[in-house]
Structure 1
Amino acid sequence: MIIGVVVSVLALAAIAFFVVPAVKGFFAGEDTKVTAGQQVTVTIPDGASGDTIASILSENHIVENPKDYYAAVKKLNADMSLKPGDYSFTTLMDATKVVQQLMEGPNAGSNALTIPEGLTVDQVADRVAQAYDSISKEDFLNQAKASNYVDDYSFLKDAANDSLEGFLFPKTYSLGDSPTADGVIRAMLDQFKTEYKSLDFASCEAKIKERYGVEMSDYDIVNLASIVEREGLNADQRAHVASVFYNRLAGKLDGLRYLNSDATMMYVTGGEVTADDLQSDSPYNTYKHEGLPPTPICSPSLEALKATLEPTDSDDLYFYITQDEEYFSQTYEEHQQSWN
């Protein structure tokens, strides 16, 4: 009987140690809305179990559902390849990307600069200034002009407003203790160049023109991808959102070419968009001005660029996306039902 009691106690302890963290992680944030893209630094202890890692990721809203983490580990056959250490992630990341980083090893330290997807040049400048004493925000912004780099990076030739918006590629960079603003910017542009070369812009633009009757330049793709980045939460959503925007650019919405995107006005307001904001005459108000805004509104991820180059084939004109729901509709009546 005593042995039975001891076994039961040990079983309960095992459940508390291995199962509870995962369950706690599973329900973490269920009632709290989490903003995607917020930087989070976590430590994966040496010898941490899969359940412990899943719990750390869930509790910090990096991968909300541990099941997604477990699926990614299985997909990448990563069980024995996860490395302990300090990591810099962002909230609501794709589980596969998280596991890939855990396989590569720690990316947070005194020399690490993490630029998440969807940041503006101004926000990048803030992170750079926080990471390096050698660079002030003002120094970075003064250097971050397209005219300073167009001779070395041909993809900047059409950049509007002398802006590098859209081209400071999101990634974790290791640039030493005291880089210059020029060195940081060139590292980001080099990364954009690498990703840019991996994509077949010309072929995809030809297909977009054939399907939608919309002529897109490479700069237009980056511009639209920046909006797609902010409007969708994952690859499938972003490809579908891109198709909605192409349908709007094609004039399928009452014969007009309005994108009707709150995200473009958020670039101006820096946050919430009000009804009064949507009455402004800002060139970034895509409720008032047809076509694309003057510049991209953030640095899009590779995922958003791919989604914009290879959109879902749909006739949808509306979408409604939250952390928990997504609805795509062809008529305004259907769209109203999605959020009423």
Structure 2
Amino acid sequence: MKLAKKIALVIFVLVLVGGIAAYLQYRQVINYAKVTVNLTQEKIFTVPAGTGRVALEDLLVKDNIIEQGHEFQWLLKLRPELAKMKAGTYRLQPEMNVEQVLALIASGKEAQFSIRFIEGNRFSDWSNILRDAPYLENKAKDATQTELYAMIGYDGEGLLEGWLYPDTYSYTAGTADTDILKRAYQRMKNSLDEEWAGRDRDLPYKNAYEMLIMASIIEKETGIDSERSQVASVFVNRLKKNMRLQTDPTVIYGLGDKYRGKIYRSDLDNYSAYNTYKIDGLPPTPIAMPGLASIKAAAHPAKTDYLYFVANGTGGHTFSHNLNDHNRAVKVYRQIEQKN
């Protein structure tokens, strides 16, 4: 009887000690979950596909985000929902704790990156921006023109110039640059189709593409919203009168790498498909990516009889109805230039 009591006492003590040990272990793991990670600034952390529990811990230790310890694996066993990690690239913040890091990785809410294309950029500018963008897969640079057009679903006229909608685009790591181009093309196509359908009916455009070309010229001529429709009216009026557009931005575009920062008389005298001092009508393609405001201006030009405009020296332009007034405005602008 005494022996049985002793055995029972020993078992009780062992269970008690085991329970206390288990509780202390539990508290240690819980406390570990609240430990702040070893970051002093934001960090982009990538979890490759197929990463398991041990591999994830190794990655975090290798990047000095956490310290090596048995608590990590115990936490994943205690909180199995945190062990459902998803491959991806995540944005970790210095104030995060271990539990929050694991919860983020389990959520699959990957880091969002953004890339901005401004109105008036050329396709060559877009290519450079895409090439330098972080965590973006570059497919466009090695593709032929035919392959690129197929990848983005481009079925428009002519070159891709002008067909991409300027805006800020968000993406996650590993996104292909062609996916962004596809989104930009679709937005431009939809916007152009909508504006073409609602355009003024007395415009000298044969199709929506010609309106896109006009919008690109407007985009390069002025950055002032209140002037866009007036600039559009000048060019529309000239087209209706069979006058040449005589706009410098098209000449600059046609010169390409030969542009020397200034237009010389020889540039105006030499024929090119984009020299609107030499050709009749519009150039063959857009000369930049126009924003929606310029497309709207091309679709709804102001009702004026302006035929000329020139910079006024203060960022805007002076518009004229006839050549004499225009020449006077040019003289004033040149005087302002000389003073500056």
Q: Under TM normalisation by the shorter chain, which class is it?
A: 0.5 to 0.7
Query: Per-residue displacement from partner, 1:33-65 (whole Å, max 9, x unpaired)?
Result: xxxxxxxxxxxxxxxxxxxxxxxxxxxxxxxxx
SS at match of 2:216: helix
CA distance in 2: counterparts of 1:323 and 1:134, whole angstroms: 40
CA distance in 1: counterparts of 2:147 and 2:283, whole angstroms: 18
Q: Which residue of 1 aligns with 2:291?
A: 301
Distance apart, 1:120 and its partner CA: 0.7
- Residue 253 (structure 2) pairs with residue 262 (structure 1): no
Query: Per-residue displacement from partner, 1:12-44 (whole Å, max 9, x unpaired)?
Result: xxxxxxxxxxxxxxxxxxxxxxxxxxxxxxxxx
What TM-score do the two structures reach when normalised by structure 1?
A: 0.58
CA distance in 2: counterparts of 1:264 and 1:324, whole angstroms: 20
Distance apart, 1:239 and its partner CA: 0.4
CA distance in 2: counterparts of 1:244 and 1:145, whole angstroms: 39
Assess if the C-alpha contact under 8 Å between 2:200 and 2:300 holds in 1.
no
Query: In structure 2, what residue type is equivalent to 1:327?
Result: T
Distance 1:143 1:112, change over 3 A: farther
Query: In structure 1, what residue type is equivalent to 2:216?
Result: S
Distance apart, 1:144 and its partner CA: 8.0
Consecutive unaligned residues of structure 1, counting only runs of 5 or more, are 1-108, 209-213
What TM-score do the two structures reach when normalised by structure 2?
A: 0.58
Query: In structure 2, what residue type is equivalent to 1:120?
Result: R
CA distance in 1: counterparts of 2:142 and 2:214, whole angstroms: 25
SS at match of 1:259: coil
Assess if the C-alpha contact under 8 Å between 1:126 and 1:137 holds in 2.
no
- Report matched runs for 1:69-80 at 5 Å: none
CA distance in 2: counterparts of 1:237 and 1:182, whole angstroms: 34
Q: Which residue of 2 aligns with 1:118?
A: 120
Assess if the C-alpha contact under 8 Å between 1:144 and 1:185 holds in 2.
no
Query: Per-residue displacement from partner, 1:236-258 (whole Å, max 9, x unpaired)?
Result: 2110011100111112xxxx431
CA distance in 2: counterparts of 1:145 and 1:221, whole angstroms: 27
Query: In structure 2, what residue type is equivalent to 1:311?
Result: P
Larger Rg: 2
Assess if the C-alpha contact under 8 Å between 2:193 and 2:208 holds in 1.
no
CA distance in 2: counterparts of 1:188 and 1:250, whole angstroms: 32
SS at match of 1:112: strand
SS at match of 2:282: coil
Distance 1:185 1:324, change over 3 A: closer
Query: In structure 2, what residue type is equivalent to 1:217?
Result: N
Distance apart, 1:328 and its partner CA: 0.5
- Report matched runs for 1:1-340 at 5 Å: 111-132=113-134, 134-135=136-137, 139=141, 142=144, 147-148=149-150, 152=153, 156=156, 159-160=157-158, 163-199=159-195, 201-208=196-203, 214-251=204-241, 256-270=242-256, 271-321=261-311, 322-340=313-331
Distance 1:149 1:237, change over 3 A: farther
For the aligned residue pairs, the C-alpha RMSD in angstroms reads: 2.6
Distance apart, 1:333 and its partner CA: 1.1
Distance 1:176 1:142, change over 3 A: farther
CA distance in 1: counterparts of 2:264 and 2:193, whole angstroms: 39
Q: Which residue of 2 aligns with 1:44?
A: none
CA distance in 2: counterparts of 1:111 and 1:193, whole angstroms: 24
CA distance in 1: counterparts of 2:277 and 2:146, whole angstroms: 29
Query: In structure 2, what residue type is equivalent to 1:309?
Result: A
CA distance in 1: counterparts of 2:291 and 2:128, whole angstroms: 19
Assess if the C-alpha contact under 8 Å between 2:213 and 2:282 holds in 1.
yes
Distance apart, 1:182 and its partner CA: 1.9
Provide the identity percentage: 30
CA distance in 2: counterparts of 1:264 and 1:141, whole angstroms: 28
CA distance in 2: counterparts of 1:316 and 1:140, whole angstroms: 46
Distance apart, 1:178 and its partner CA: 2.6
